[in-house]
Amino acid sequence: MITILDLIRECGLQPRKASGNKGGEYHCACPGCGDGGKGRHSDRFHAWPAQNDGQGSYWCRQCGSGGDVIQFMIDFQNMSFKNAAARAGKTLDSREIQPMSTPRLPFDSATPHQVDPESSSIQSPDLWQRKAARLVDWAHDQLKKDHEQLKYLAGRGLTIKAVERFRLGWNPGERGRDIFRSRESWGLGPETSPETGKPKKLWIPRGLVIPLIDETGRVDRVRVRRPEGEPRYYVLPGGPSDPIPLLAVPSTWPGMHQALIVCEAELDGMLIAMSAGDLTGVLALGSASAKPRHERANLLAGEAAWIGLAMDRDQAGDEAMKWWLESFDNVQDIRPQGVKDPGELVLVGQDVRAWVESSLPRAWRSGRVAKMKGIIKEGQGFRPNRVTVKKDGLPRTVREMGLLLKKFPAVRVEVRPDRWAMWAEDSQGREVAFWDKQDPAAGRRLHDLYWYDPDVERWLLDRAPGIFDGYNFLRGK
């Protein structure tokens, strides 16, 4: 039987016993990121040979890599999952032994997005961008004041945290009616109505405003979900249309074996990202016929080692599934039973995260998230709904969140009825960026605890409203 210490020694390293913690803890340099300037006395790489039925586990506190012997062989010996599992003596089912190869890319991942002048007649992209950003900000403020719409979104599993994260908004209209503006005022070229022969106005209908915002903060597209009438969804003209931008949310999981779930509605994609974004990336197409030609969407699909398809259970969804199954490797139908789409899981009282976890390949379900020492016992997996209480009476993840805030004294988190936010500021109160670059693994963990852990969420809600940092988080004052 191969053990974690055997594998470490095969890399030319000599682990030394540092303590009796967890049946024996060994330290050495990391096979991946090096020795940290301490040579043979490095202690950044930790191994626990007594765990996982005597085969052991590992974790590097510098680069964040960790897992069992199979993951070690994949991470540091360039072995496939199937070969690593065979060497570890594991008997796997058919779902586990699928090759984790890179999917075939049906499009060039470097395809830039552009505006199709024939479809949008845009004359001033910069003016359209300013107008769109202003609309998104205004609608976002309107939504946070509208308790009825917030209640509707909460019923779909989208809390105020999702509203903040995805900048969702509500357009109440003007005097309760749809908004109309001159096309020229938005940087669009003139168009004439074929029925009346008069200049057409830009239609901004009442409804839920669903923006797509790129990594630089620019508005890629604005879609409105109307409360009634046809079309139910309307995309404001002027945004990139060739290729069409899609909601592409990468997973926060930092290791290998990236998972991706593909669905249709943006709201369903946001629900999956908020419920299980630490386990999987999300690609929401907007319509069943859309393809991942947009740069971010194409890259996300191309890098995924496993793709779960959650299209709507209807004829259009069935047809779309065929294209994905033909175009990519490692694709699986994971549509939830008894409902049309993932959003309906919430309506029938089912757990979205549990559905995601049950859909993942079995070998991925344990140890994928909890990689930092002391979070949970290795091999048990990440179960955020289970409260683990330490001697001081605090849930384990709440205590961990407080310690991480002390590690990053510049970080502030804010909770109030209309806002969830996390940022960092200097001694003069000015916001600063890249605070997590000094320790990426800890910074990532802080992010995941704040956005995804229910015990941390309950802790903050019980003490809201307020702004918390390493000084007052555990005190709750």
Note whether residue 275 is domain-resident.
yes
Note whether residue 61 is domain-resident.
yes
Containing domain of residue 410, as a range?
396-468
Average pLDDT over residues 117-146: 83
- Residues 222 and 306 grouped into a single domain: no
Note whether residue 315 is domain-resident.
yes
Using CA atoms, how far apart are residues 9 and 290, in angstroms rounded to an integer? 49
- Residues 219 and 258 grouped into a single domain: no
Q: Which residues contact 428 (CB under 8 A, 6 or more apart)?
A: none
Give burial (CB, 10 Å; 0-12/13-18/19+) of 249.
buried
- Residues 129 and 228 grouped into a single domain: yes
Q: Which residues contact 42 (CB under 8 A, 6 or more apart)?
A: 27, 28, 29, 30, 34, 35, 36
* pLDDT for the residue numbered 99: 36
Q: In what order do the strands lie in the sheet with 66-68?
A: 16-19, 25-28, 45-48, 57-60, 66-68
Average pLDDT over residues 381-396: 52
- Residues 79 and 126 grouped into a single domain: no
Give the least confident one: 124-133, 225-234, 364-373, 408-417: 364-373
Using CA atoms, how far apart are residues 340 and 344, in angstroms rounded to an integer? 7
Q: In what order do the strands lie in the sheet with 219-225?
A: 169-171, 207-213, 219-225, 233-235
Using CA atoms, how far apart are residues 255 and 365, in angstroms rounded to an integer? 13
Using CA atoms, how far apart are residues 449 and 442, in angstroms rounded to an integer? 10
Q: Which residues contact 181 (CB under 8 A, 6 or more apart)?
A: 201, 202, 204
- Residues 412 and 454 grouped into a single domain: yes
Give the least confident one: 15-19, 31-35, 68-72, 378-382: 378-382
Q: Residue 76 sits in a domain of what CATH number?
A: 3.90.580.10
Q: Which residue has the higher pLDDT, 309 or 442?
A: 309
Using CA atoms, how far apart are residues 415 and 460, in angstroms rounded to an integer? 7
Cα maximum dimension of the chain: 84
Residue 47 tokens read as 């191994």
Note whether residue 427 is domain-resident.
yes
- Relative to beta strand 57-60, strand 66-68 is antiparallel
Note whether residue 74 is domain-resident.
yes
* pLDDT for the residue numbered 27: 86
Residue 282 tokens read as 């999300």
Domain's final residue, options 185, 207, 235: 235
Note whether residue 426 is domain-resident.
yes
Domain's final residue, options 235, 261, 296: 235
Using CA atoms, how far apart are residues 221 and 322, in angstroms rounded to an integer? 27
Note whether residue 374 is domain-resident.
no
Helices (H), 237-342: 266-276, 295-303, 315-327
**How much of the chain is in helix, strand and coil states, percent to nearest 5?**
35, 20, 45
pLDDT 10s digits, 32-51: 776 655 555 567 788 888 88
Give the least confident one: 285-289, 341-345, 360-364: 360-364
Of 78, 82, 80, the closest CA to residue 10 belongs to 78
* Most confident of the ranges 85-99, 331-345, 392-406: 331-345
Q: Residue 343 sits in a domain of what CATH number?
A: 3.40.1360.10
- Residues 190 and 260 grouped into a single domain: no
In the predicted model, is pLDDT for residue 383 greater than 80? Answer: no
Q: In the chain, how many domains are there?
A: 4
CA angle (254 as vertex; 46, 47 as ends), nearest 5: 10
CB atoms within 10 A of CB 114: 11
In the predicted model, is pLDDT for residue 253 greater than 80? Answer: no
Of 199, 232, 217, 212, the closest CA to residue 121 belongs to 199
Helix (H) or strand (E) holding 117: helix 117-120
Domain's final residue, options 202, 235, 268: 235
- Relative to beta strand 331-333, strand 306-309 is parallel
* pLDDT for the residue numbered 38: 53
* pLDDT for the residue numbered 270: 95
Grouping H, G, I as helix, E, B as strand and the rest as coil, residue 71 is helix
- Residues 214 and 264 grouped into a single domain: no
DSSP 8-state class, residue 33: T
Note whether residue 200 is domain-resident.
yes
- Relative to beta strand 201-204, strand 331-333 is unpaired
In the predicted model, is pLDDT for residue 472 greater than 50? Answer: yes
Using CA atoms, how far apart are residues 253 and 281, in angstroms rounded to an integer? 9
Q: Which residue has the tokens 């109309």?
A: 180
Using CA atoms, how far apart are residues 405 and 223, in angstroms rounded to an integer? 37
Using CA atoms, how far apart are residues 224 and 283, in angstroms rounded to an integer? 19
In percent, how much of the chain has pLDDT > 70? Answer: 80
- Relative to beta strand 201-204, strand 179-182 is antiparallel
The pLDDT confidence band at residue 198, using thresholds 50, 70 and 90, is confident
The pLDDT confidence band at residue 117, using thresholds 50, 70 and 90, is very low
Q: Which residue has the tokens 């106005």?
A: 201
- Residues 123 and 231 grouped into a single domain: yes
- Residues 160 and 259 grouped into a single domain: no
**Over the chain, what is the mean pLDDT?**
80
pLDDT 10s digits, 413-432: 888 766 777 888 887 777 77
In the predicted model, is pLDDT for residue 80 greater than 90? Answer: no
In the predicted model, is pLDDT for residue 373 greater than 80? Answer: no
pLDDT 10s digits, 305-328: 889 999 999 999 999 999 998 888
* pLDDT for the residue numbered 364: 62
pLDDT 10s digits, 135-163: 999 999 999 889 899 989 988 899 888 99
CB atoms within 10 A of CB 375: 18
* pLDDT for the residue numbered 166: 93
- Residues 273 and 318 grouped into a single domain: yes
In percent, how much of the chain has pLDDT > 90? Answer: 29
Average pLDDT over residues 219-232: 92
- Residues 347 and 407 grouped into a single domain: no
Can you name the residues that pair with 424 across neighbouring β-strands? 411, 432
* pLDDT for the residue numbered 363: 57
* pLDDT for the residue numbered 365: 54
- Residues 267 and 328 grouped into a single domain: yes
Q: Residue 199 sits in a domain of what CATH number?
A: 3.90.980.10
* pLDDT for the residue numbered 380: 34
- Let me know: does 127 contact 186? Beta carbons within 8 Å: yes
